[in-house]
Structure 1
C-alpha cells in the first residue's frame, strides 16, 4: 500500500486508539511542540527589543522629511516677511518700499490725493481734471482694466502690467531692463526738468505721436503720448517713487512732475488683507483664505511627495526563515483524526477520505478532474471488477453511522486504490 493510502488509513486508525477526553489531543500536541523546542540544538533566547541603531535606521527617513518641512517653513518666513499684503507704493506707507514721502510732497504743492482700493472706486473718483495712478502692485483683472480704460482725465501707469494694452491702446511692452540711473535724452518737459532718474524695468515701443525717454539701448523705459483728450504716461518701474529712492538723482522731481500734473491724484492701491473683491464687487471663497494657509498647503504637498518617494522604494527579496518547530505529516494526520473522533465528526472524516481517494485515483483512471460521478464509478468498476452499486455507495453514499462503518469505508477505499495501482 502506498504511503498516501497509509496516511489516510492512519486517520481512521488514530480515531480508534484515541482517548475519550477532548483535552487529550491538545495535551499531546502541546507536548510535541515543547519537546521540539527543547531539543532544538544551538537555540537560545534572542532579544527583540529595539536598539539605538535600529531606531535610527527606521526613523532617519521621517526625521529627514521633518527637517525639510521645517527648513522650508523657516525660509518662507524669512523671505516672505510677515506674509501680509504688499504695501509697496502706498501713499500711507512710510516704510522703504512705500510712497508716503511722495504723497506728503504732493500735498505740500496743493495736490489733493484720493486713495482708492478698487477699480470701481477709482473710476468713480476720476474726473477730467485728475490723474489716475495705476501701479503693477494692484492685481488688475480684465474687468478692472476695461473699467479704468474709460476713466476721464490723465493716466499714469507705473510698471509693465499685463493689462497694458487694455489700459493704454497703442502702447506695447518690448522687454526688461536693469534698474539704474539713466539720462532722459528726450524733450518731454517732465523728464527734461528732472534730469537723471533711477529707472528701468519694462521697456516700451513708442506709439505714433509719442515720446520715449530714459532709453535702455534702443527701447525707452518711459513713454508719454496723447490719446484723445487725455495724456497717458507709462514708466518701466516705480522704484524712483519709493521712500528709499525718492531723494536720489532727479527721482523726486520726475515723480512730482508726473503725479502732480493735475490738481487731483487718484491713487489706486491694493486693498488690505481680507478685503479683496471680485469683479462683481463680492468677496470670493478663495479671496478669504489667508496667505499663510496657501503656503502651508504647499509645504504639506511637498512633504507628502517626499514621503511617497521615500516609502515607495523597491522592496528587497523575500527572506526565508526556519520554523521553530517541525511537525511530521503523520503527527498532523493523527491529531486531526483525534479531533474528528472527539467531536464525532464522521461525516467530515468520510468526506476527507473520499476526497483524498478521488485526488489520487482519478488521474490513474485517465479521467479529467472535472469527470462526473457516473464516469468515475463506471471506470472504477471496470478497472477493479467491483460491483458498480458498491463502488458508488463507497464514493457518494451517506456518511457512516458509527466508527466501525468509518473504518470499513477506509479499508474498502484503500483496497480499491491498491487494485487500481496494481492493474
Structure 2
C-alpha cells in the first residue's frame, strides 16, 4: 500500500512539474500578445488630440516638437492652461465645439503669451482674435506670398479646404499668408495667429508637401506650447464615465465562470501529459532504393512518358542555374545556350531536353544516358 501511494505521489508531482511549464508558457504568450496589441493599437481621440494616433490626431506633431526640445503641455481643462501659461509660452487652441463659455474665453484672453488658433469656431475667433473676421473666399494652400517667417521657411503647403480671414474695419494690421488661410497680427504685446484648417497638422496631413515644416514652425515658435483640447464646456462637471461603469454587474460573474471553465479544461487536459516515451526511429530507406522502386512502378505501368518527363525536368532544374537561365526561359534559348556551352548538335540537345516521349524501353535508356552526358558536360564546362 505504501509503495502504491508513493508511486501515485511521484506521478502527480511529475505531472504538475510538466503542467506548470505549460501554464507558464500560456501566461507568457497571452501577456506578450496583450502588450503587443496595446502598444500597436491606434490611439483614438478627437481632432488634433495630442495623444491620438488616428489619421486626424496630432500625436506625430507633438512627438516631433518634443524631439526638437519644445516643452509641450497637453491639457483638457482651463485650470491646467492657466497653471502652465507664462510670457514666453504659446497657447495652441485645437478645434473644439466646447469652447463657447464667455467666462472661460475671458480667462484665456487674460493669459500671458502668444496665441495660435487652429480652425477656430466663431466664438473662439471673436473672443481671442477680435482683429480678424471670416473672408468670403476659401484657400487650398499654395505659396505663402507673405513675410511671416514660419510660412516663408515652410514654402508651398497643401491645406486642402481652408477658411480664410481678413482684417476687421479699423482693426490692427493683419498679415495674410496662403491667400488668407494663415493670418497674424500683434496687439497689446501679444502675437495672435489663426489658421483656417487643422488638416496640415494632423498625422495624415504632415506627409503632404511642406505641411510638416509649417506645422512645426507655427507650434514650435516658443519654448513652451500649451496644447489646449477642451473635452467639455468649461464650468460643467466632469461626469466622465469609465468603461467599467458601462459594463453590467453580471458580466463580471460571467467572466469569472469562463476563467474557471478554462482552468478546469487545462487541468483535465494536463492530466494526459505524461513522461517522454522512447521509441525506435522509423526505418531508414536509402535513396537508391527509392529511385529503383519508383522506376519499377513506372515500368509496371508502361509510363515511359512520365519517366522521360521526370528525367528531363530534373536535368533542367539542375542545369539552368549553371547556365544563368531561369525557369521561365523559352526552349529555343535553352537549346541554343546548352549547345554552344558543350559544343553539341542543337538538334540532339533539343531532342534530349524537349523531344518526343520514347516509345520503348531502349529509347528511354538512350534518352537517360544522353541527358546524363549533357548534364555532366555542362557541369564540367
In terms of Rg, which structure is larger?
A: 1
Structure 2-normalised TM-score?
0.48
Using the size of structure 1 for normalisation, the TM-score is: 0.43
